Amino acid sequence: MTAAAFRMTRPLAETDPASNVFAVVGPQRNRGVELFAQGDLTPQLGILGGVTYIDARLLDTRVPDTSGKLVVGVPHVKSDVSLDYHPDFLAGFALIGTAHFESRREATNTNDSFAPSFATLDVGARYTTPFLHHALTVRAQVVNATDKHYYSSIADGNIIGSPGANTAYFGTPRTLMASAELDL
């Protein structure tokens, strides 16, 4: 297990509505904590994942409506946790599950609209067996098994240099993936 605390700043650029010039207007300050775990909970159950809390704010923007506000598209809480169950009685077989969570994210620098929080679940299985003196691994996975509708990315148009061109991208719908891998 690991734990980390951080505080970072970086320049923030956006388009000035009065001059229509894209320029650095002040700093973005990010601070938060992260907890991460990797290992075996039992001899047959492994875990990989963690949770992050982040407070990302716009500082000293010289614009009262945005100074001190939350940064567009950055959730306060983000978590991804995967479990890998590989029972002894089924050698080479494993079931995998991954949960993803993001809290609500602001959609504008003035924090007057937002994308709601979301949680998704991925489930899958893999099987590894000898094949012609090599290891063959077959995998199948359902990404976003509950078919949750969510926004995977959000950007304020002012930040990307296009005032009024705010963007939001839909997340992956329920998707089935399968693969086979042969180690040579």
Residue 128 has pLDDT above 90, yes or no: yes
Q: What is the pLDDT of residues 134-155, one digit of tens each?
A: 999 999 999 999 999 999 988 8
Which segment, 20-29, 46-55, 110-119, is predicted with the most confidence on average?
A: 46-55
| DSSP, res 109 | T
Q: Kindly indicate the confidence band of residue 161, based on its pLDDT and cuts at 50, 70 and 90.
A: low
| DSSP, res 13 | E
Q: What is the pLDDT of residue 20?
A: 78
Rounded Cα–Cα distance for residues 28 and 10 (Å): 5
Rounded Cα–Cα distance for residues 175 and 172 (Å): 7
Whole-prediction pTM: 0.86
Q: What is the pLDDT of residues 28-80, one digit of tens each?
A: 999 999 999 999 999 999 999 999 999 999 998 877 888 899 998 999 999 99
Residue 164 has pLDDT above 70, yes or no: no
CB 140 within 8 A of CB 176: yes
Rounded Cα–Cα distance for residues 27 and 30 (Å): 10
Q: What is the pLDDT of residue 159?
A: 62
Q: What is the pLDDT of residue 158?
A: 64
Q: What is the pLDDT of residue 160?
A: 62
Q: In the chain, where do the E strands start and end?
A: 2-15, 22-42, 45-58, 77-85, 93-102, 105-106, 114-115, 118-131, 134-143, 151-155, 167-170, 175-182
CATH topology (fold) of 2-182: Maltoporin; Chain A (2.40.170)
- Dihedral angle over CA of 79, 14, 108, 33, nearest 10: 20
Q: What is the pLDDT of residue 46?
A: 97
Residue 16 has pLDDT above 80, yes or no: no
Q: Kindly indicate the confidence band of residue 15, based on its pLDDT and cuts at 50, 70 and 90.
A: confident
